[in-house]
């Protein structure tokens, strides 16, 4: 959805900070998410993602700076929350209420719901709404909150690690819902530490580390971040280089013995597979680095062991 530069940001934080007694949870965070964007909010556990979101919802009061939802200060929840729907990381429901009652309550008190779409979502997420919340698993409670949020026509959806309890089928359904929401022009603010999920649905990402926003980047740059580590074992020694140097996306090529080599790969794997086809490969292992490793890498953390790869990506 095209956004005019004068549009009020769906979510805007300016110099936002939060301290809990001694620890600094969020430090001088400034961010603007334009309307209609699907924005990924990445970071390892404890980076301050949830704290930022809870400040944006007015549940926590900032120690410094401020945050606005469509130009309305976050602490004015009576007005600000008419523009948003939220899915918490850990959904707690009143145990005696049924799923249907929870959905009805969120609809009755919330900013308005498309009931036909909600009925469709209940089917798609395979939720049995006539059970008490007490009997729901983590994933089912999450489904209730997701259905309620996606069924609203609120212009901003704030989703805090919404798929941590979902199985792969439901996760696929979730991605479809995000795409549908984006198609309707809704803004989605998705906090996650699952790189694949963020990559699949987000146009732009912000990366948070130790309370600071260290990077805000578009998806193409994010793709460059995503590197897999490939180990190859050969049946007999190959000629020097083995035709792998200079292959698209390959970096950090290392021979640990004449028969074993490792490398990192960014981008599509086809070129490197073509190069490997000429060799006598007996074992091939492709491992995706964890987000944490990528972070350590990318920001040149002294604890990281992949300094050279980091330099490669940075170059």
Partner 1 sequence: MTTGTAPAPTASAAGWTPEPGPAGRAVTALAVRSVRRGAVLVTAVAAGMPALVAVQHRQLDQELAGASLAALAENPAIRTLFGPPVALDDPGGFTVWRTGTAIAVLVGVWAALATTRMTRGEEEAGRWDLLLAGPARLPAVLLRHLAVLLGASALVGVATAAGLVLAGTATTGAVLFGALIGGTGMVGAALGALAAQLLAERRAAAGLAVGVLLAGLLARMVADGVPALGWLHWLSPFGLLGRSAPFAADRVLPLLVLAAAVAVLVAAAVTVSARRDVGSGPWRRPGAVRPGARRLRSLPGLVARHTGRPVVGWGAAVAAYFALIGLLATTMTDFLTENPRFAELAAQAGFAELGSVRGYVASLFTLLAVPVGAFVASRVAATAADEVAGRLTLLYSLPVRRVRWLATELTGVAVGAVLLTGAAGLATWLGATWVGADLSAGAALAGVLNVLPVVAVCLGAAVAALACAPAAVLPLGVLPAAGGYLLLVLADTLSWPGWVRGLSPFAHLAAVPAEPVDVPGLVGLLAVAAVLTAGGLTGYRHRDLRG
Short-list 31, 13, 37, 12, CA closest to 178: 37
Q: With CB under 8 A as the contact rule, which of the stretches 90-98, 169-177, 192-200, 304-312 interacts with partner 1?
A: 90-98
Among 13, 26, 33, 85, binds partner 1 (CB under 8 A): 85
3-class DSSP state for residue 114?
A: coil
Least separation, in Å, of the C-beta of 71 and partner 1? Answer: 16
The DSSP 8-state label assigned to residue 248 in this structure reads T
Q: Which two tokens stand for residue 133?
A: 């919340």
Least separation, in Å, of the C-beta of 22 and partner 1? Answer: 15
Residue 203 CA to residue 223 CA, distance in Å, equals: 11
Interacting residues with partner 1 between 146 and 165 (CB under 8 A): 148, 158
How many angstroms separate the Cα of 97 from the Cα of each of 94, 100, 221, 243, 315?
6, 8, 45, 64, 55
Least separation, in Å, of the C-beta of 102 and partner 1? Answer: 8
Residue 128 CA to residue 133 CA, distance in Å, equals: 10
Residue 309 CA to residue 291 CA, distance in Å, equals: 15
Q: Which is nearer to partner 1, 128 or 248 (CB)?
A: 128
On the CB side of 174, CA atoms within 13 Å amount to 28
Based on the shown chain and the rule CB under 8 A, indicate whether residue 91 belongs to the binding site for partner 1: yes
Residue 98 CA to residue 256 CA, distance in Å, equals: 59
Site string for partner 1, 37-56 (x = CB under 8 A): -----------------x--
Q: Which is nearer to partner 1, 108 or 168 (CB)?
A: 108
Site string for partner 1, 102-141 (x = CB under 8 A): --xxxxxxxx----------------xxxxx-xx------
Based on the shown chain and the rule CB under 8 A, indicate whether residue 94 belongs to the binding site for partner 1: yes
* Contacting residues for 289 by C-beta, under 8 A, at least 6 apart: 227, 228, 229, 297, 306
Least separation, in Å, of the C-beta of 26 and partner 1? Answer: 13
Q: Which two tokens stand for residue 187?
A: 């803004």
Q: Which two tokens stand for residue 78?
A: 């009576």
Start-to-end CA distance of the chain, whole Å, equals 32
Based on the shown chain and the rule CB under 8 A, indicate whether residue 204 belongs to the binding site for partner 1: no
Residues that bind partner 1 (rule: CB under 8 A) add up to a total of 45
Among 12, 81, 118, 209, binds partner 1 (CB under 8 A): 81
Least separation, in Å, of the C-beta of 277 and partner 1? Answer: 35
Among 9, 34, 58, 211, binds partner 1 (CB under 8 A): 58
Among 36, 43, 88, 162, binds partner 1 (CB under 8 A): 88
- Interaction site with partner 1 (CB under 8 A): 54, 57-61, 77-82, 84-86, 88, 90-98, 100-101, 104-111, 128-132, 134-135, 145, 148, 158
């Amino acid at each position: 959805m095209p956004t005019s530069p004068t549009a009020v940001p769906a979510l805007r934080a300016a110099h936002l900070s939060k301290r809990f007694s001694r620890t600094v949870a969020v430090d001088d965070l400034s961010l603007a998410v334009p309307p209609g964007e699907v924005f990924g909010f990445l970071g390892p556990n404890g980076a301050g993602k949830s704290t930022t979101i809870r400040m944006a919802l007015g549940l926590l009061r900032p120690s410094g700076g401020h945050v606005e939802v469509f130009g309305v200060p976050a602490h004015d929840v009576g007005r600000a929350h008419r523009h948003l729907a939220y899915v918490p990381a850990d959904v707690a429901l009143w145990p005696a209420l049924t799923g249907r009652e929870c959905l009805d309550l969120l609809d009755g008190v919330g900013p308005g719901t498309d009931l036909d779409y909600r009925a469709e979502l209940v089917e798609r997420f395979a939720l049995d709404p006539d059970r008490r919340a007490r009997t729901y698993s983590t994933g089912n409670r999450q489904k209730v909150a997701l259905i309620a949020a996606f069924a609203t026509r609120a212009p901003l959806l704030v989703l805090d690690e919404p798929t941590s309890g979902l199985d792969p089928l439901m996760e696929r359904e979730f991605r479809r819902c995000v795409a549908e929401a984006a198609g309707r022009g809704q803004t989605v603010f998705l906090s996650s530490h699952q790189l694949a999920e963020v990559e699949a649905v987000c146009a732009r990402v912000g990366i948070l580390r130790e309370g600071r926003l260290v990077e805000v980047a578009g998806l193409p740059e994010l793709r460059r971040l995503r590197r897999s580590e490939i180990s190859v074992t050969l049946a007999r020694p190959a000629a020097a280089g083995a035709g792998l140097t200079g292959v698209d996306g390959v970096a950090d090529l290392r021979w640990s013995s004449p028969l074993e080599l490792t490398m990192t790969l960014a981008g599509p794997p086809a070129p490197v597979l073509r190069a490997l086809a000429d060799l006598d490969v007996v074992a091939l292992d492709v491992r995706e680095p964890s987000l944490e490793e990528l972070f350590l890498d990318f920001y040149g953390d002294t604890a990281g062991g992949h300094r050279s790869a980091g330099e490669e990506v940075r170059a």
